[in-house]
Amino acid sequence: MDATGSSLRGSRKALGLLINAGHLIDHLMLLIFATAVATIAVDFGFSRWEDLMPYTMGAFIMFGLGSLPSGRIGDLWGRRPMMLVFFFGIGASAILVAFAQGPWQLAAALTLVGAFASIYHPIGIPMLVRDSPNPGLTIGINGLAGNLGIAVAAVSTGLLVQYAGWRAAFVVPGIASLACGVAFALLVPGESGAPASRAARASAPVPRATLARVVLVMTLTAVFATIVFNFTTNGNLELLRERLSGLATEPAKLGALLALVYVIASLAQLVVGWLLDRYSVRQVMVPVVALQVPLFVLAASAEGWTFYVALVALMIVVFGAIPFTDTMVVRFVDDRMRSRVSGARFFIAFGVSSAAVGLLGPAVKAAGFTTMLFTMAAVAACTTLCAMLLPPDPAREQARR
């Protein structure tokens, strides 16, 4: 192997490791608050954790709204510089959260975290899959990294809250993100040009009507799936606290139990990614999202360790559904505009579903978790119906002819 080939392989490996680390950091940062909310509520003088949840709405709104300009800037300016902005921006913002002295300062700092977090998905994933020979598995591994971030948020936040305070739970990952930014700057080489300026690659043509249909289906499924994802990942800790009452009450123990759920569930994305490299998106997606419906119903009526088992099964299919929309972008959209399409999709999906986070506390307070779980079953049914409308993958159909 010559020096040039070795250098390219090394930079590609560094790119993969750091882009996946970025996904872990992205989801970790957005879930620290949900894991520490009960402790923060006491510190700020709130009698119930539910009353503090609306203060995080700005973070999730910006997570959606910011993705639209992030995707456009990434395609027109470059994805590498945007990833640097992501690592340094979200790291500094997380540290800023630790200095909040009241709920509105907390809300402002969390909103800033959400703004920088919005950069990752429309930039990092298109950058990662551009030269991948197995994009489905690549997306699956990337999704695994993101969901491990959720698991790390559960266990690390629980430990840090219990032994060092909730502020440390933001400072430690903030410093880790800054370190990743330095590594990215040193190890990942510059791009040959902004994606929008590159020559088009030969690919299976996608008729305009088919592309419009895909964008509609992709957007609707992303909205419904993100509502489910936001509800579960932001509500699972308090849901576990309620359903495992008397069995696990310490923050560290609850965090470890929830982390185990996420670690097991995250592995589903490897299986789904492997399947997506062999079958069409619709063939894999429909059965996975359809399984969410009965599992939400089962979780709504379960208690104790039976609920815990049901939650593991439910989160397997919730996390297993994550690679689908990114795979749709890879299968149907040219690389020169993938960041813009991804950004638009996240703009709509998270812009709508971010309300689920802000309304989580008040909704649970008014209706209870059981009613909310049945509501999520109905949302999952809508996702399934939308997935059934997805057209066949163009490259796979061309190969059959």
Distance separating alpha carbons of residues 25 and 120, to the nearest angstrom: 10
Question: pLDDT per residue over 137-186, tens digit each?
Answer: 888 899 888 878 877 887 888 888 888 889 999 999 999 999 999 999 99
What would the DSSP string read from start to end of 152-190? HHHHHHHHHHHHT-HHHHHHHHHHHHHHHHHHHHHHSPP
- Cα 225 to Cα 53, 69, 182, 361, distances in angstroms: 21, 22, 34, 19
Question: pLDDT per residue over 317-364, tens digit each?
Answer: 998 988 888 888 887 777 777 888 878 777 777 666 666 655 655 666
Structure tokens, 310:
């049901």
Q: Does the structure show a pLDDT above 90 at 98?
A: yes
Q: Helix 57-65 vs helix 3-43: angle between axes, to the nearest 10 degrees?
A: 150
CB 226 within 8 A of CB 321: no
Question: pLDDT per residue over 262-298, tens digit each?
Answer: 889 888 989 998 998 888 889 999 999 999 999 999 9
**Residue 384's pLDDT is what?**
94
Confidence of residue 1 (pLDDT cuts 50, 70, 90): very low
Distance separating alpha carbons of residues 8 and 3, to the nearest angstrom: 9
Q: Does the structure show a pLDDT above 50 at 134?
A: yes
CB within 8 A of 331, min separation 6: which ones? 281, 393, 394, 395
Q: Does the structure show a pLDDT above 80 at 122?
A: yes
Q: Does the structure show a pLDDT above 50 at 86?
A: yes
Q: Give the DSSP H or E segment for 281.
A: helix 281-290
Structure tokens, 201:
């690659």
For 280, phi and psi rounded to 5 degrees?
Answer: -70, 160
Distance separating alpha carbons of residues 270 and 382, to the nearest angstrom: 25
Q: DSSP letter at 108? A: H
Cβ burial 359-369 (10 Å sphere, 16+ → b, else e):
bbbebbeeeeb
**Residue 401's pLDDT is what?**
47
**Residue 229's pLDDT is what?**
83
Task: Look up residue 44 and give its amino acid.
Answer: F
**Total length of the chain:** 401
Most confident residue range from 219-223, 237-241, 345-349, 380-384: 380-384
- Written out in words, the top-level CATH class of the domain with range 9-190+208-392 is mainly alpha
